[in-house]
Structure 1
Amino acid sequence: MRRTASPLSLALLGAGVFLLVLAPMLAWYVEPRAKRTPVDVDVTTVFTGPGSYFDTAEIKTVKKDLTITRQVRGDVADSESSGRAVWDVSTSVDTEDTLPAADTHDSLQWTLERWVTDRRTNEPVHCCGEKPTFDGEAYLKFPFDVQKRSYRWWDNTLGSTVRLRFAGVRKIQGYEGYRFTGAVEPAQTGTRLVPGRLVGLPKRSQVLAEEWYANHGIELVVDRRTGRIVNAAIGPRKTLRAPGGKRDRVVLLDSRRLEFTPATQRAQVALASSDSDRLELVGETLPMGGGGAGAVLAAVGAVLVVRGREARGTTPVITL
């Protein structure tokens, strides 16, 4: 009797082999290429908290709630032409009297920056009208696959990197992320021409006062898989000192803690969860599931092929 493989056995064997080939391709080829910093972003984050600032109308430091609004927009055209992630970043510091943040003419502080990074490594790239020139491993986001180690975070006010240490895990809006903390010791960051009496030199009409900056504490909670920051808290302090002075004379801005609002936290968690789920699907779920299903289908198909089926031939001739 002649045996031949059935169409079903061949189909099962072919499907199994296909899945066995596809599974490692998803894990080793597709998933690494999916880990790319997006370029078509338009995200607004808001920090709030109690603080104080120098009121130029009253010529003194007053206490008020502060709001920091940061909008990040991707420049898709420049990103596609350069192959980098090109983001334009607008940041304003306001009180309740100067909100909404979209109207920046009376903000306490307003900056417009352009950040350019490698889409795979998140390292800074110096091109495409980057402003300012920055360094480090993290700023608006962390690299993909965040590790339990210290990272160099760029502090734009300081003009240098700050070491943030891994400090365990923390849940934000029910979503778990890696927590990193650090601080900035007082450092001179520039100079400003002010009336001498502001910094304790009443006999001098104008002096080139020293601008000093510190940060009471930095706390970032980061999604492990995507590097997206799901919560941020900072404690900026900006002051003026007399030339060569040893102590602060004027507090320009100070807050022990400015933190993402609950609405910003929820939005960041939603983005991180969605992106993380897609990476997990491509990098883990589909390769593992596809590999397992492929092995089963290939095994069943191979058994059926080996067993085959009896061909329906002609009726044998019986001789006497």
Structure 2
Amino acid sequence: MRTGTSPLSLILLGLGTFLLVLAPLFAWYVKPRAAVNPVDIDTTAVYTGRGSVFDLEKVETVPDQNITITQRVRGNVAESERSGGAAVWDVTTSVDTDKSLPASDPHDALSFTPHRWVLDRRTTEPVRCCGAKPRIEGEAYLKFPFDVQKRSYQWWDNTLGDTVVMRYRGTAKVQGYTGYRFTASVPPTKSGTRMVPGRLVDQPDRPQVLAEEWYANHGVELIVDQATGRVVHARTSPRQTLRAPGGDKDVAVLLDAEQGVSFTDETQKEAVRQAERDSGQLRLVGETVPIGAAVAGFLLAAIGGALVIRGRKDEEGPDSTGTHQ
């Protein structure tokens, strides 16, 4: 009795071929389009630590104070849609002590800085549009690009107003999650000017002086998720001082967190949760699904092909009279 080529064998062969074609499409087409920065981001990172701060009421630097830095990032969806493909993020950074932290108005903080970052959704590079200010440069700012490499990156330091080189230092764990570790430091650098009473910069005979603002950082440490570029832990040790015009030494310390301020446990846990979720999605479309589709496609194509060959052999076999069909 002749069986011939069954419909099942053709279905298996066709389905297997389809999966073999689909597998590389997920890796080469779907994953790059899934790895994009969001336009509707809304995250808050809180750093805490201790250091010296300038007390305006006492008109002097007070040591060993609690310092809280709060950085909030909100996506401006309307501006992002008008930008033609970029992500527009509005960022506010406030520095507080225990005295100013309970205030309802963030402008009452020791320092309050609003600014806007516009970035390419795929590469994370700065984009010039939509009222972006200041002119951010470099390869990374609030996050690294997707698929972080084991190399140095140009990181934008908004207080410095320039980029610093973040050097790869191996891996480190945060809340049990492994990320890439990067470090940098900033030598004392003039960062701007500020009108202050002359007595603050050792010039009591002058009521107002255009003092020089100087910034340094004892050390910056970032631990970054490799797949998404999300910062899961950060520690920074800023020092901000005043100098008399043309002076070569600090005469007033505005902020000095030599021991560093770091992500709180809550900020770390939330950053790790989001990194695990997003990297898992990228791994699904970039690795799990393509590999699964390739293996399943190969097996189905092999089985279907074997059945087709078997069916053709049956068709070519001898009939009851001994002659070949």
Could you say which TM-score interval applies, normalised by the shorter chain?
over 0.9
Q: Secondary structure of 1:136's partner?
A: coil
- Deviation at 1:198? 1.4
Deviation per residue, 1:113-161 (Å, 9 max, x gap):
1100111111100101111111000111100110111100001111110
1:246 maps to 2:278: no
Deviation per residue, 1:199-224 (Å, 9 max, x gap):
11223232221111101101010000
**1: CA distance, partners of 2:284 / 2:4:** 39
The gaps in structure 1 that reach 5 residues or longer are none
Corresponding residue for residue 190 of structure 1: 192
Deviation per residue, 1:241-276 (Å, 9 max, x gap):
111111111001110201000100000001011100
Deviation per residue, 1:66-124 (Å, 9 max, x gap):
00111111111221232101111111111122224763131011111110011111110
- Deviation at 1:9? 1.5
**1: CA distance, partners of 2:289 / 2:102:** 45
| Contact residue 92 and residue 101 of structure 1 kept, 8 A | no
Deviation per residue, 1:277-301 (Å, 9 max, x gap):
1101101111111101100110001
**2: CA distance, partners of 1:79 / 1:100:** 33
- Deviation at 1:11? 2.0
Q: RMSD over aligned Cα, in angstroms?
A: 1.7
Corresponding residue for residue 70 of structure 2: 69
- More off after superposition, 196-205 vs 163-172: 196-205
| Contact residue 172 and residue 265 of structure 1 kept, 8 A | yes
The gaps in structure 2 that reach 5 residues or longer are none
Name segments (4+ residues, structure 1) moved above 2 Å: 1-4, 100-103, 202-206
Q: 2:135 aligns with which of 113, 133, 136?
A: 133
Q: 2:266 aligns with which of 263, 266, 276?
A: 263
Residues 102 and 91 from structure 1, CA distance in 2 versus in 1: closer, same or farther, beyond 3 angstroms?
A: farther
Q: 1:154 aligns with which of 153, 156, 166?
A: 156
**2: CA distance, partners of 1:128 / 1:30:** 29
Amino acid at match of 1:93: V
- Deviation at 1:7? 2.5
Aligned length: 314
Q: Secondary structure of 1:54's partner?
A: strand
TM-score (norm 2): 0.93
- Deviation at 1:61? 0.8
Q: Secondary structure of 1:38's partner?
A: coil
Corresponding residue for residue 80 of structure 1: 81
TM alignment of 1:158-307, pairs within 5 A: 158-256=160-258, 257-307=260-310
| Contact residue 196 and residue 202 of structure 1 kept, 8 A | yes
